[in-house]
Amino acid sequence: MSTSHVTPSSPGSNAQQNTQQNAAATGTCPPMPDVSMPNTSMPHTSTPSASTPHTSTSSRSASKPTPPSTGRLLPLFCLLSVGLLLGITATLVKFALVEGWAPLAFLSWGLGGGSLMLLALSFIVRKPPAPTRSQLPFYLISSLISIAVPQAIIFAAVPHVGASFVSLCLALPPLLTYALALFLRMERLRLLRAVGITSGLAGASLLAIAKLQGTPDNPGWIALALLGPVVIALGNIYRTKRWPPGASAVSLAPGLLGIGAAMLFTWTLIVGTPMTPGNGSAFAIWLVVGQMLLFCVSYSLFFVLQVIAGPVYLSQCGSVGAVSGAAIAIAVFGEPAGALVLIGTAAILAGVLMVSRG
């Protein structure tokens, strides 16, 4: 960085002043504030002081969930909206099953239609997808561990363990995401957050015990449902570390959903899953159209939240989905809510609160 400031002093003092300014510029220049964001609008080649190791930038992203430039209202709005839509989705699957939809077929059509809606939205806001060859691994891995696998687990598990249990499992990703961030040295160990992780895992254990008491023949599906949050947490960490520089959430979302849908369509064709509803009613068609719209809105807000708030804050949308989904399932479908379920729910929500405040 060149200095052009000239003062009416002697040549000797000018030389000394320039030397001090250059030393200060190279020794104490703070890093760019936007470098810690997964999606940065700053040029990738910035000042030398910004070229810090990748793990340190991710640490700032994970430990500062709400950047000052966005305030608190936008991240909070995205968090509550995505969480509510997650709860509605888990319940909507129940109606789809009644109408004769196979869970994975309903999911595949929902993701495929949602990706087309997001593609249209990206052109409307003039941020269409512009994938490059170097971004292909990001698209494939993110679609697999962020969309195809966790959504398939959620949709397939609902008929076997209930929508309320699946929704409550969605409260675990915040705790697991923070644990992974600690393991990868993206976060510092904090006592309150550590207690929160323990509380959340204890709550999940109570939920599993409650379901084992009611449905002893489904331990495999209970274990699979509890595996879903682990995959979601892995996706949160991976996207934060590998988010393409300069890419916007609107431009990436259509491709991620589209590739995830293609993966699921391929799998359903291999295993011979029927791709149409059993009774072919108009309500069954409207259900899948509604799911397409839910995916379009929820994933557009989800990836915006990824960009502006980081992985730990982002993952808390699962807690909102847990509460809303369980409440809807209990109220609409009459699913039981025993003492263990209530205690487990309280432990999970307490853990989420401690992780977010820690």
pLDDT at 60: 41
- Does the pLDDT value for residue 260 go beyond 60? yes
Cα 53 vs. chain centroid, distance in angstroms? 24
The share of the chain scoring above pLDDT 70, in percent, equals 77
pTM above the 0.75 mark? no
- Does the pLDDT value for residue 217 go beyond 70? no
> Which residue type occupies 140?
L
pLDDT band at 33 (very low <50, low <70, confident <90, very high): very low
Cβ distance 176 to 233 under 8 Å?
A: yes
The residue assigned the tokens 């084992």 is: 212
Residue 306: name the closest of 101, 70, 2 by CA.
70
Helix and strand numbers, DSSP H then E, in the chain: 15, 0
Three-class secondary structure of residue 15 per DSSP? helix
Domain range for 119: 74-357
pLDDT at 30: 39
Q: For residues 82 and 316, what is the distance between their CA atoms, to the nearest angstrom? A: 10
Most confident of 13-17, 58-62, 229-233, 346-350: 229-233
Cβ distance 304 to 249 under 8 Å?
A: yes
Residue 106: name the closest of 115, 119, 97 by CA.
97
Give the tens place of pLDDT for each residue, 289-333.
999 999 999 999 998 888 887 787 788 787 778 777 777 777 877
Q: Give a yes or no: residue 278 inside a domain.
A: yes
Token pair belonging to 253: 């979302």
Give the tens place of pLDDT for each residue, 139-171.
999 999 999 999 899 888 888 887 777 877 877
Give the tens place of pLDDT for each residue, 295-306.
999 999 998 888
- Does the pLDDT value for residue 105 go beyond 90? yes
- Does the pLDDT value for residue 198 go beyond 60? yes
- Does the pLDDT value for residue 216 go beyond 60? no
- Does the pLDDT value for residue 119 go beyond 60? yes
Mean pLDDT of the chain: 77
pLDDT at 211: 67
> Which residue type occupies 35?
V
Q: Give a yes or no: residue 241 inside a domain.
A: yes
Q: Give a yes or no: residue 40 inside a domain.
A: no
Higher per-residue confidence, 88 vs 322:
88
Give the tens place of pLDDT for each residue, 62-79.
434 334 455 667 888 888
pLDDT at 279: 82
Higher per-residue confidence, 159 vs 115:
115
Q: Give a yes or no: residue 61 inside a domain.
A: no
* Number of domains making up the chain: 1
- Does the pLDDT value for residue 45 go beyond 60? no
Q: Give a yes or no: residue 17 inside a domain.
A: no
Q: Give a yes or no: residue 69 inside a domain.
A: no
The residue assigned the tokens 């976060």 is: 187
Three-class secondary structure of residue 286 per DSSP? helix
- Does the pLDDT value for residue 20 go beyond 80? no
Residue 244: name the closest of 138, 356, 126, 90 by CA.
138
Cβ distance 87 to 328 under 8 Å?
A: yes
pLDDT band at 267 (very low <50, low <70, confident <90, very high): very high
pLDDT at 54: 41
pLDDT at 313: 78
Q: For residues 49 and 32, what is the distance between their CA atoms, to the nearest angstrom? A: 8
The DSSP annotation for 52-108 comes to --HHHHHHHHHH--S-GGGTTHHHHHHHHHHHHHHHHHHHHHHHHHHTT--HHHHHH
Q: Give a yes or no: residue 49 inside a domain.
A: no
Q: For residues 188 and 39, what is the distance between their CA atoms, to the nearest angstrom? A: 23
pLDDT at 72: 65
Q: Give a yes or no: residue 15 inside a domain.
A: no
pLDDT at 71: 61
Exposed, middle or buried, 30 (CB in 10 Å: 0-12/13-18/19+)?
exposed
Give the tens place of pLDDT for each residue, 171-184.
788 778 888 888 88
Higher per-residue confidence, 185 vs 287:
287
pLDDT band at 104 (very low <50, low <70, confident <90, very high): very high
pLDDT at 109: 96
The residue assigned the tokens 């888990």 is: 90
The share of the chain scoring above pLDDT 90, in percent, equals 30
